[in-house]
């Protein structure tokens, strides 16, 4: 019997795992905050799943756990719209009916309504409704793939980012959030607590070295700047005032980073090791933005209430979409050109049919 020209499946699995792991490791070393890491992580996960399925076919003892895992995964996918809607209802009850709190509910409804609408369009049999259905598919494919990559990058940051990427910072920067009646609320308090924890850990190793920066300007409805309120909050919890630096001009994440960089440069800190601390849902976007700005700072996530995370994470996903306008434009142009070609075919077919 002749030897098959292709490699055995186990060797293919090992080669795929080694390839994606090596590329992910190389990419993380260059910059673990880039979205490409999320894509490579997804490819690594896919190769791992493939290897497990092959192992399950060779080792009977693995069939049950792998089978149960597969059932749980597909069950989670099937229930995702309802889980999102449930989370949305809980969030609205606890936080109120603000537009920003409706994302989970809207996403759950969209996951149900979109395939129903697509099937209804295809069922009409009209070539023009088929075109609309195809455009819907293109939009959903782009948004879905980007969502998966963003999810993969979230996993990368939680595993290898944060304090693992910057274990001994010279500066700990806490990003501000809106004050509630002029005081620090639970969300901002969690960020400050995370910053104080990181500052104290480094203070115990290198007394006098770490600097704690509070970053946040003053909104129109706030009696003081967020930075001032945050500093008072930290001082009340034992942080010496002389170890705190205020950045009280910023109003966005981008200006949080930009103004803090300028403030540190004014103090002669040209290339300090900086750890940014923000809410867990906000950490990935902050890291991506810092990378886009050429700032080599790591971002550590602070704890966030469970019912708030998913909705806020979706909001961050939409924000990152706006950072990648060129990619969206390229995809839109490709979809538009294909649509024009399809429309021309429809028109030509109609004219030919009419001539016959």
Contact 88, 105 (CB under 8 A): yes
Tokens of 29: 């070393």
Look at 14 and 30; give whichever has higher pLDDT.
30
Tokens found for residue 152: 């993969």
pLDDT at 3 over 50: no
pTM of the model: 0.89
Helix (H/G/I), strand (E/B), else coil: 264? helix
Distance of alpha carbon 253 from alpha carbon 282, whole angstroms = 10
What's the mean per-residue pLDDT of the chain? 90
Reply yes or no on whether the pLDDT at 218 is more than 70: yes
Average pLDDT on 180-188 reads: 91
Q: What share of the chain is helix, strand, coil (3-state, %, to 5)?
A: 70, 10, 20
Contact call for residues 281 and 309 (beta carbons, < 8 A): yes
119/115 Cα distance (integer angstroms): 6
| Averaged pLDDT, 173-193 | 93
Q: Which residue, among 297, 293, 283, 295, has the nearest Cα to 323 in the 3D structure?
A: 293
The confidence score (pLDDT) of residue 350 equals 63
Question: CA–CA distance from 349 to each of 16, 130, 134, 345 (Å)?
Answer: 46, 15, 19, 6
CB neighbour list of residue 343: distance below 8 Å, 6 or more residues apart: 131
Q: Is residue 1's pLDDT more than 50?
A: no
**Between the CA of residue 69 and those of 35, 63, 73, 74, what are the distances in Å?**
27, 10, 6, 9
Nearest partner of 234 among 273, 289, 192, judged by Cα: 192
């Amino acid at each position: 019997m002749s030897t098959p020209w292709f490699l055995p499946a186990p060797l293919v699995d090992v080669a795929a795992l080694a390839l994606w792991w090596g590329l992910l490791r190389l990419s993380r070393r260059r910059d673990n905050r880039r979205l490409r890491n999320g894509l490579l992580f997804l490819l690594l996960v896919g190769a791992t799943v493939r290897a497990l399925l092959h192992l399950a076919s060779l080792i009977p003892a693995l069939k049950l756990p792998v089978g149960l895992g597969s059932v749980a995964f597909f069950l989670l996918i099937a229930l995702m719209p309802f889980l999102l809607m449930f989370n949305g209802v809980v969030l609205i009850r606890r936080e109120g009916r603000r537009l920003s709190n409706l994302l989970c509910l809207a996403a759950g409804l969209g996951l149900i309504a979109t395939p129903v609408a697509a099937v209804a369009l295809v069922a009409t049999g009209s070539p023009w409704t088929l075109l609309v259905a195809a455009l819907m598919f293109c939009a959903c494919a782009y948004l879905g793939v980007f969502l998966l990559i963003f999810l993969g990058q979230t996993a990368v940051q939680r595993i290898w980012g944060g304090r693992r990427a910057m274990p001994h910072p010279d500066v700990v920067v806490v990003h501000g959030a809106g004050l509630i009646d002029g005081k620090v609320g639970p969300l901002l308090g969690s960020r400050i607590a995370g910053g104080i924890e990181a500052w104290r850990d480094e203070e115990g190793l290198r007394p006098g070295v770490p600097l704690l920066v509070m970053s946040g300007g003053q909104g129109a409805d706030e009696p003081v700047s967020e930075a001032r309120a945050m500093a008072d909050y930290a001082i009340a919890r034992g942080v010496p005032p002389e170890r705190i630096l205020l950045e009280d001009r910023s109003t966005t994440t981008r200006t949080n980073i930009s103004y803090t960089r300028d403030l540190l440069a004014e103090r002669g800190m040209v290339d300090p090791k900086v750890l940014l601390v923000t809410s867990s849902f906000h950490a990935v976007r902050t890291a991506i933005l810092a990378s886009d700005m050429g700032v080599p700072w790591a971002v550590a996530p602070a704890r966030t209430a469970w019912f708030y995370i998913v909705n806020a994470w979706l909001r961050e996903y939409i924000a990152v979409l706006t950072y990648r306008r060129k990619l969206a434009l390229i995809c839109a142009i490709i979809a538009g050109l294909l649509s024009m070609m399809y429309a021309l075919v429809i028109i030509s077919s109609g004219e030919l049919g009419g001539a016959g």
